[in-house]
A and B are shown apart, each in its own frame.
Chain A
Amino acid sequence: MREIIITELTQALQELARGFAHYLPRLIVMLIVAFLGWVVAYLLKVLVRSILRLTKFSKLLENAGATQLLNQAALPSSTELLSQVVFWVAWVGFILLGVSVLGIVGLREYISRFFLFLPRLLVALIILFVGLLVASFFSRAALLAAVNANFRSSRLLSVLIRIIISIFALSMVLEVLGVAEETMLIAFGTAFGAVMLGLAIAFGIGGKDLAREFLEKKFATEKKEEKDDELSPL
């Protein structure tokens, strides 16, 4: 009995050693690929950072309001963020390449799927980033215009514009990622249409007289008040 156990254990250990010896070179190759990947990714990060600094990319984004958005989200500067993204995408790519060298059958399919998915993920991230920037820019533009025109619900208008643009960007992102495309499209269309229809009904039918009275009073008074208020600045 004791001998049988020792024999089995020895065989198991020998198989493990064989397996380990079989995989060891591949593991070393994987580690080398990962290390090389880190070096390449680091160099890419430095290169991207230098190019972005030379082209004054962050200045461009500052003008568009991106810096403020990044600050609000406690993220690093736009140049740093982009170079970090390039670093991680490149390194993860190399790591996955290294893993594929191990020859694990099930993993290969997932890795190839990941590489196919990568461009879409990048596009989705860019759309999300630009969408949030656009939402931030236009909501602030609307807020300023509304405040300077003495519109009472300036904040509400600004928030509405931000939400609508953000939802629109999000639906585009989900469509690019292929997540519940049709559901999102229908949901967005329905929600947007419902809001517009609701507003149209509220102002056009439900409160027709009230709206007319309100608008007449509002604009008649405003025009008169405006004449009284504005002194020639120059």
Chain B
Amino acid sequence: MAEDTLLTDDFLRQLINVGEVDILVGLPTHNNANTIEPVIRAIQAGILKCFPRERAVIVNADGGSQDGTPELVISASIDDVWSVSKVYALRTLHSISTRYARSPEPGTALRTILAAADLLRAKACVVVSPDSTTIEPDWLQRLARPVYNDNFDLVSPIYRRQEFEGVLMRNLLYPMTRAIYGYRVREPYASEFAISGRLATDFLTKETWNDEWGRIGAEICLTITAITGKYRVCQSFLGTKAQPYRSASDLVAAMRRTVGALFSSLDSNFPLWSTIAGSQPVPTLGAQSEAAQSEVMLEPVRVNRKRLREMFATGVAQLEPVFRSILSASTLSELQRIATLEVSEFNYPADVWAKTVFEFAASYHKSVISRDHIVQALVPLYRGRTLTFLLENRDGSGENIERSVESLCGEFERLKPYLVEVWADRK
């Protein structure tokens, strides 16, 4: 079994001391000392408030923190939470920690948490991001309750976002996952989610872990496994998503672990997705409306639109030899035309964007060049699409943004036969 080699002896001893549990809360960390304490307090308060009778454990999988994050997790006292919430747990709430590697590997962290859930026979496993400073105790209930009480296998989050955050999610991951697999899961790559014990056990046995893309993008692979395995999937409205630190290098890494993993999943699931047309909604709990997630403006976002256009145009010009082996001649010439447009008239239309993404996916399947290079080559084009998204929704409300995303999803679904065509035909 995978756990034999994955879990250290020390961690196994800790797990044996804990014994069987009902709910396991996983916390993958790496140098999160600045944000971990409020997150831990919210988790503890959530367990005390919503699951006082259940056996629960907090499992920290740490990727070699140098700032004492694991120590903070273990030492976080529950006394403070008791005094504030005036609620007392009827069971001992354990907090244990393990270092799975010297450097962070998100896939291994998730695998460690799932292996622990499997060993402890947890009925529900909730994973929480250590960066979620906006977390509230209720999040735990909203994530775990559908699994624990209503027999759902995967609870995916819905957030209230700043209107221009989550651009990759809104412009690529959600529309493409929806068009390919036929389910409207808003956050296919989630940093907070809950899964059932049986899905955790099944996912642990998948070959995904042997694949590089599966390891770095395990979260999106988990969503796809739940959808393709006909598990019961639902969404739960959590609240405002914390705005993480942004940098250019983060974008390339984010593309690798999301788009790379999504493209990679298409290979083995072709017989399934090639026959799906359209999409169906998944049960959504707690959200007032889908548009609610785009309603708030946490702070004004400053974006240098001119520079975004420049980066797109430079990318199209400089990467032309790379694009020639990935894109069709018509799509490439359309991109070259768009690259000549000024910011005021800039428009990367939804249908061209959908075609671009599908041609990238087909080229990825055919490995026309290194797969990692294909994913990296999409970055400048994504910047162009980001600019169009910003310009289209400059003065738009949450509902307008929602309509824009819905329209893009429609284009992805409409053009799906084109993907099937290029998938088979591309040399």
Q: Is B167's CB under 8 angstroms from A231's CB?
A: yes
Q: Could you say which residues of chain B place their CB within 8 Å of the CB of A213?
A: none
Digitize A132-158: 1 where CB-to-B-CB distance is under 8 Å, 0 elsewhere: 000001001101110111100011000
Q: Is B251's CB under 8 angstroms from A228's CB?
A: no
Besides the known contacts A63-B371, A229-B307, 14 further A-B residue pairs in the complex with CB atoms under 8 A apart: A63-B370, A68-B369, A143-B322, A144-B319, A144-B322, A144-B376, A147-B318, A148-B376, A150-B311, A154-B318, A228-B304, A231-B167, A232-B243, A234-B244
Question: A231: which of B191, B301, B368, B369 is its contact (CB, 8 Å)?
Answer: B301
Query: In the bound complex, how far is the Cα of B386 from the Cα of A225, in angstroms?
Result: 16
Taking the complex as formed, is A109 at the interface, i.e. its CB lies under 8 A from any CB of chain B? no
* In the complex, residue of chain A having the shortest beta-carbon distance to the beta carbon of B249: A149
Taking the complex as formed, is A113 at the interface, i.e. its CB lies under 8 A from any CB of chain B? no
Q: Is B371's CB under 8 angstroms from A234's CB?
A: no
Chain B residues at the A interface, C-beta cutoff of 8 Å = 164-169, 173, 189, 191, 243-244, 246-252, 254-255, 258, 301-304, 307-308, 311, 314-315, 318-319, 322, 325, 366-371, 373, 376-377, 379-380, 382, 386
16 pairs of residues in contact across A and B, judged by CB atoms under 8 Å = A62-B366, A63-B371, A68-B368, A143-B319, A147-B318, A148-B380, A150-B311, A225-B307, A226-B247, A226-B248, A229-B308, A230-B248, A232-B243, A233-B168, A234-B191, A234-B254
Within A2-44, the residues touching B (CB, 8 Å) are: none
Chain A interface secondary structure, helix, strand, loop or mixed? helix
Q: Could you say which residues of chain A place their CB within 8 Å of the CB of B243?
A: 232
Question: B251: which of A137, A227, A233 is its contact (CB, 8 Å)?
Answer: A233
Query: In the bound complex, how far is the Cα of B379 from the Cα of A208, in angstroms?
Result: 34
**Highest count of chain A CB atoms <10 Å: which of B302, B369, B380:** B369
CB distance from A28 to the nearest CB of B (A): 47
Query: In the bound complex, how far is the Cα of B368 from the Cα of A151, in angstroms?
Result: 25
Q: Could you say which residues of chain A place their CB within 8 Å of the CB of B304?
A: 225, 228-229
Contacts A62-B367, A225-B304, A228-B302 given; indicate if A233 touches B169 (C-beta within 8 A): yes
Taking the complex as formed, is A78 at the interface, i.e. its CB lies under 8 A from any CB of chain B? no
Digitize A40-68: 1 where CB-to-B-CB distance is under 8 Å, 0 elsewhere: 00000000000000000001001111011
Q: Could you say which residues of chain A place their CB within 8 Å of the CB of B166?
A: 232-234
CB distance from B117 to the nearest CB of A (A): 24
Q: Is B325's CB under 8 angstroms from A68's CB?
A: yes
**Highest count of chain B CB atoms <10 Å: which of A67, A150, A229:** A229
Chain B interface secondary structure, helix, strand, loop or mixed? helix
Query: In the bound complex, how far is the Cα of B255 from the Cα of A145, in angstroms?
Result: 13
Q: Could you say which residues of chain A place their CB within 8 Å of the CB of B376?
A: 144-145, 148
Q: Could you say which residues of chain A place their CB within 8 Å of the CB of B325?
A: 68
Q: Is B373's CB under 8 angstroms from A140's CB?
A: yes
Question: A147: which of B249, B303, B319 is its contact (CB, 8 Å)?
Answer: B319
CB distance from A147 to the nearest CB of B (A): 5
Q: Could you say which residues of chain A place their CB within 8 Å of the CB of B164?
A: 231
Q: Could you say which residues of chain A place their CB within 8 Å of the CB of B191?
A: 234
Q: Could you say which residues of chain B place their CB within 8 Å of the CB of A225?
A: 304, 307
Within A112-132, the residues touching B (CB, 8 Å) are: none
A contact residues, range:
20 to 34
Contacts A65-B369, A67-B368, A234-B254 given; indicate if A144 touches B377 (C-beta within 8 A): yes
Contacts A227-B246, A230-B248 given; indicate if A147 touches B380 (C-beta within 8 A): yes
Q: Is B303's CB under 8 angstroms from A63's CB?
A: no
Instruction: Pick the 10 closest A-B CB pairs, nearest first.
Output: A233-B168, A230-B246, A144-B376, A62-B367, A228-B302, A232-B165, A233-B254, A154-B318, A148-B379, A228-B304
Q: Could you say which residues of chain B place their CB within 8 Å of the CB of A229?
A: 248, 303-304, 307-308, 311
* In the complex, residue of chain A having the shortest beta-carbon distance to the beta carbon of B164: A231
Q: Is B322's CB under 8 angstroms from A233's CB?
A: no
Q: Is A233's CB under 8 angstroms from B167's CB?
A: yes
Q: Could you say which residues of chain B place their CB within 8 Å of the CB of A231?
A: 164-165, 167, 246, 301, 303, 386
Contacts A145-B376, A229-B304, A231-B167 given; indicate if A137 touches B370 (C-beta within 8 A): yes
Query: In the bound complex, how far is the Cα of B371 from the Cα of A140, in angstroms?
Result: 12
**Highest count of chain A CB atoms <10 Å: which of B164, B247, B371:** B247
Query: In the bound complex, how far is the Cα of B30 from the Cα of A57, in angstroms?
Result: 39
Q: Could you say which residues of chain A place their CB within 8 Å of the CB of B367?
A: 59, 62-63
CB distance from B149 to the nearest CB of A (A): 29
CB distance from A225 to the nearest CB of B (A): 6
Digitize A174-217: 1 where CB-to-B-CB distance is under 8 Å, 0 elsewhere: 00000000000000000000000000000000000000000000
CB distance from A108 to the nearest CB of B (A): 48
Q: Is A147's CB under 8 angstroms from B314's CB?
A: yes
Query: In the bound complex, how far is the Cα of B133 from the Cα of A162, in angstroms?
Result: 46
Q: Could you say which residues of chain A place their CB within 8 Å of the CB of B254?
A: 233-234
* In the complex, residue of chain B having the shortest beta-carbon distance to the beta carbon of A226: B248
Query: In the bound complex, how far is the Cα of B246 from the Cα of A234, in angstroms?
Result: 10
CB distance from A23 to the nearest CB of B (A): 52
Q: Is B248's CB under 8 angstroms from A232's CB?
A: no
**Highest count of chain B CB atoms <10 Å: which of A68, A143, A148, A231:** A231
Query: In the bound complex, how far is the Cα of B370 from the Cα of A225, in angstroms?
Result: 31
Query: In the bound complex, how far is the Cα of B368 from the Cα of A147, in angstroms?
Result: 20
CB distance from A56 to the nearest CB of B (A): 11
